[in-house]
Structure 1
């Protein structure tokens, strides 16, 4: 036992070594384990060591005490039992328990001193932890010996469980305050022997007031042969558990928020991918439409010139007319494609949505037919929007027809409108600003997610063969985007669809007059004009020249902007320049800038299949959309020459 206090544990059977001290010869013999504990060379230990080696590794603070104890043996004491510290080779502090006894000769003089050295470091550490726990507030201690029905406990232990204070309590009483199934406060023998630790947490109902509390148990198992002893502490962790629950709830909320943000981000990424896909399709569609416009230009102009030939019989003229009608349909198709690509020619003006829809109502109702009912929900006082009236009417009519087709047995179609303010970043597809939401709502069969995702793609349609081009919604989408707004579709299968146009509110109340042929000056006096015609497409250039010559003008052809500039330098007094816009190396607007430097005030006609032109181009020259007829060309010439004459 310790010389300073009564141990709560017997000496644990740890590492141990033996010694034999021949007092007469002053030689110390130790076994291998003792040598290892003292960091003594095993060969030196077997040969014998001076007695000073016994004190070699003892902690300096314990060395005087141990010398006094050994001196007692030399003075005639028979038994020796001391605990002390040694410094291990790795500088760790270990606790040793030395137990020995002296051997005497016939004269009662000590001749030998033998004993056992045991490593009790773990036991000493356990005792130290128990002493700290006993002295700390709010911590109760307990000790339980295998086979007993009771346990030694502290007053704090009893208070934590709401039990009457007592130094010894029945294990059954202690465990009765435990709530639910699972580990007990004092573990069962089988549970306790599964490891070296008895750490656990559990809920209790205090015996005195019934309050539910959380208790933590920490302890260790000291094994003694076939039995064991449990030493441990308990303490209240209710506050920590409540904080843990609050933190768990906070984490759950954060996780939910993160999941929502991830979902929003995925939706935004999907919207961006969809927008990028539609933009790519739009660019491709616009390019195809432009090329088709060039082809149709060659066809329609050739047919028009051929139609003027008097030598053709009636059948030939009829065939030409059929071909011209087909070409016109193709031209209308390309205009829809350009609308989707946001490259159509728009004539915007300030429009009151309620007035437009109300005035358009009769046509919509005739389009729907008797089985379908039209409802309007458009409040008065909505601000005006800046829009192309004809395109908006076409878009509405297209949406109404789609709503009707989604309800083959009849139903209700509602056109509704409201004012909506959009904040920055609020909607992925819309900039910040004020918009009029104009929606067409039906109660038809709706669309599934896959169909809805492709609804605005060009040439995609769910209608039967010959019942739709698949360009209606794509045209509306492009039209709304070109205005600076948007087009959105919401649909639920078997419940219906809502198609919404977001139209920007006009910034000024001033009405911008729509261009009309009434503003075109009267035809100029017939005279032969010198005209430079420019186009990189040989077919269009040839047919444009043919139409101009048929009108009586002198034409100089150029296949590029540079060749046109060369002609302008060589030919004096050119009356007019007609140029294509989309040409390699030099666009039509770039050519126009250089041409006016060579000949100031030169009238210019810009021919293009695209609606949008570079900023300022529309004010400096006359726009002629492709494909154009000979009459369109003639009117554009009169406008260009007339505007030039007025400006001069």
Structure 2
């Protein structure tokens, strides 16, 4: 074998660098099949534990296979043989053992070049590190199967463990990404087994699914928690991956059921029914809570992405002349519609999981229904007649007007679909006083009942039992998300009300939404005003604190375009330092709610110690309990929900500064 000419080596190096730059890979290879030499770039060579200089001059092909995890090696050899035998593409995920013993997941992609006789002469490709994605998928799979709240991961023999923020919240510990195992096990009540076993190989399988009593570290409250997990073995050893969640309510209901059994002989028939209802309520509550926790976290990340997409589309639309290319404007309009549809779906996820903050006000239901008449007419086919009625002297209710309109529209659209194109739709509101005897799950008191009735096909008892489940739908694939009634259920529960269904097969269905009577007086209806962009001035300073770089860049850009003086910080600690330096020159703090290290509320508390009159505007796509109380915004708290637009942000900031 002769030495490779310098020009050939340079061409190969340039080709490998180009592949790596274009694909953002973790390494590239060039296999000269005729010379049986494998050329590696520096990144791939280091991964295989060889000198990068040797990788550029050529190595035996077995160097590549030795770096592959022994459990994946045979599979990859077969795949490579297939490429050499004529297969077009190589695309496999496999594990690689780095020189330091770390096990990394790689996605290898390549293809084979052939000569004029269809014989393989060169096999080139690249590696992409997908370790983080694989670990995230593993955690998510465990969390979904268990329906849990807090996730954790512990490697055998280590004194610390990786945990989620929800894990810390369940145990009452200060939020941190890594905790000592001793600290976690210290919350267990005397006599309870440790939450994290001391030796994972001996943990077995059945012992990983268990329930424990704990004393929360922050308030000393005794709680029941459940643990679900799985011991994973790889080249680095044993790891325990799992979830924990609070099951105190379930335990309390179980205790109530045991008490009922003490008098079972005297109350057999009544208590069987009551027990069934309690079990169904428990099942529904656990399911909704578990799915809510999962979807809430997803919605937070998704809203940040939508904030970037919607914000930048909005910016481009405002900066393109109205007389510009109409095809470009249509494309932007379609992109905005798609992003807004995704945002609406995210809001539904938050509503049914009761993690969307409500802004309850006293509402005139009769006026609201009258105002929805045109909207309902446009949303329902002409073959369906619509009647809206309200009893005289209808009480005002306490609810979020926007979410109430969404709930009524969802019920109307479901009713339309149930009638298969034609029929009669009735929306009727009446006053109802619920007593203890007929309260169902409602607290006794005064309510306004809003019923939506259709003349459709009706529903069976089995269907009614499932209709409020998230993602359950009787519609064809692609014609419904299964979130409409779940959203209505979540809104009713969060508003301290309820929703109930009466249906007869072949005759129709009535869905009745109960909302509590308002104590406060209704505000006068606002007069319509022309939409004008409310501008700011350079004498008004806004501090923007946001940990997502792209969201922060968009927000700062909008505020500067509006004329404000803007300073920015990437987290709470940096924002607090800026507040200390500015000597009370900042009029408004615009901060994200959920941030690492220091949350938005913690930043606001510290900031107002420095500047008590500082005005604050929160922005978030997922507030959780940070600024909410009983599902509603804390008094005096202002929030702009992600994703928001130029005009929404402009109006909210101007409103706060003028207040």
TM bucket, shorter chain: 0.5 to 0.7
Is residue 347–residue 514 contact of structure 1 (8 Å, CA) maintained in 2? no
Per-residue CA deviation, residues 301-340 of structure 1 (Å, 9 max, x unaligned), is 2333344556997355554443233222222222222222
After superposition, the CA RMSD in angstroms is 3.6
SS in 2 for 1:446: coil
d(CA) in 1 for partners of 2:528, 2:378: 30
1:267 and 2:277 aligned? yes
Is residue 311–residue 554 contact of structure 2 (8 Å, CA) maintained in 1? yes
Residue equivalent to 1:20: none
Instruction: Flag structure 1 segments of 5+ consecutive residues without an equivalent.
Output: 1-252, 644-648
Per-residue CA deviation, residues 551-571 of structure 1 (Å, 9 max, x unaligned), is 454443322212211121123
1:544 and 2:560 aligned? no
1:464 and 2:502 aligned? no
Q: CA deviation at 1:502?
A: 0.8
Residue equivalent to 2:354: 342
Question: Residue 575 and residue 398 in structure 1: after superposition, are their counterparts in 2 closer, same or farther (change >3 A)?
Answer: closer
1:559 and 2:575 aligned? no
Which residue among 436, 453, 467 is the counterpart of 2:448? 436
Per-residue CA deviation, residues 355-407 of structure 1 (Å, 9 max, x unaligned), is 54456556546654554444566432332222334433332233233223222
d(CA) in 2 for partners of 1:403, 1:524: 44
Is residue 609–residue 625 contact of structure 1 (8 Å, CA) maintained in 2? yes
Q: CA deviation at 1:578?
A: 1.2
Q: TM-score, normalised by structure 1?
A: 0.53
Q: CA deviation at 1:464?
A: 2.2
Q: CA deviation at 1:494?
A: 3.5
1:487 and 2:503 aligned? no
Which residue among 572, 580, 597 is the counterpart of 2:592? 580
Is residue 622–residue 639 contact of structure 1 (8 Å, CA) maintained in 2? no
Which residue among 410, 416, 433 is the counterpart of 1:404? 416
Residue equivalent to 1:569: 580
Point out the structure with max Rg over C-alpha: 1
Q: How does 1:74-473 map to 2 (within 5 A)?
A: 257-307=267-317, 314=325, 318-344=330-356, 346-357=358-369, 360-361=372-373, 364=376, 367-369=379-381, 371-374=383-386, 378-408=390-420, 410-423=422-435, 427=439, 429-473=441-485
d(CA) in 1 for partners of 2:405, 2:293: 25
Residue equivalent to 2:639: 623
Residue equivalent to 1:637: 653
Which residue among 505, 509, 520 is the counterpart of 1:497? 509
SS in 2 for 1:628: coil
Per-residue CA deviation, residues 242-265 of structure 1 (Å, 9 max, x unaligned), is xxxxxxxxxxx9858403311221
Question: Residue 486 and residue 285 in structure 1: after superposition, are their counterparts in 2 closer, same or farther (change >3 A)?
Answer: farther
1:511 and 2:510 aligned? no
Question: Residue 354 and residue 601 in structure 1: after superposition, are their counterparts in 2 closer, same or farther (change >3 A)?
Answer: closer
d(CA) in 1 for partners of 2:615, 2:495: 30
SS in 1 for 2:294: helix
Is residue 357–residue 628 contact of structure 2 (8 Å, CA) maintained in 1? no
Q: CA deviation at 1:281?
A: 2.4
Question: Residue 579 and residue 351 in structure 1: after superposition, are their counterparts in 2 closer, same or farther (change >3 A)?
Answer: closer
Is residue 521–residue 642 contact of structure 1 (8 Å, CA) maintained in 2? no
Q: CA deviation at 1:286?
A: 2.9
SS in 1 for 2:515: strand
SS in 2 for 1:415: strand
Question: Residue 633 and residue 358 in structure 1: after superposition, are their counterparts in 2 closer, same or farther (change >3 A)?
Answer: closer
Per-residue CA deviation, residues 34-54 of structure 1 (Å, 9 max, x unaligned), is xxxxxxxxxxxxxxxxxxxxx
Q: TM-score, normalised by structure 2?
A: 0.52
Residue equivalent to 1:609: 621
Question: Residue 583 and residue 504 in structure 1: after superposition, are their counterparts in 2 closer, same or farther (change >3 A)?
Answer: same
Residue equivalent to 1:535: 546
Q: CA deviation at 1:518?
A: 6.5
Residue equivalent to 2:487: 475
d(CA) in 1 for partners of 2:343, 2:421: 35
Q: CA deviation at 1:599?
A: 2.3
Question: Residue 425 and residue 562 in structure 1: after superposition, are their counterparts in 2 closer, same or farther (change >3 A)?
Answer: farther
Is residue 419–residue 434 contact of structure 1 (8 Å, CA) maintained in 2? yes
Residue equivalent to 1:199: none
d(CA) in 1 for partners of 2:569, 2:400: 35
Q: CA deviation at 1:501?
A: 0.2
Question: Residue 583 and residue 433 in structure 1: after superposition, are their counterparts in 2 closer, same or farther (change >3 A)?
Answer: farther
SS in 2 for 1:627: coil
d(CA) in 2 for partners of 1:356, 1:322: 30
d(CA) in 1 for partners of 2:430, 2:320: 58
d(CA) in 2 for partners of 1:466, 1:620: 42
SS in 2 for 1:454: coil
Per-residue CA deviation, residues 56-109 of structure 1 (Å, 9 max, x unaligned), is xxxxxxxxxxxxxxxxxxxxxxxxxxxxxxxxxxxxxxxxxxxxxxxxxxxxxx
Question: Residue 491 and residue 268 in structure 1: after superposition, are their counterparts in 2 closer, same or farther (change >3 A)?
Answer: farther
d(CA) in 1 for partners of 2:633, 2:517: 25
Question: Residue 295 and residue 420 in structure 1: after superposition, are their counterparts in 2 closer, same or farther (change >3 A)?
Answer: same
Instruction: Flag structure 2 segments of 5+ consecutive residues without an equivalent.
Output: 1-262
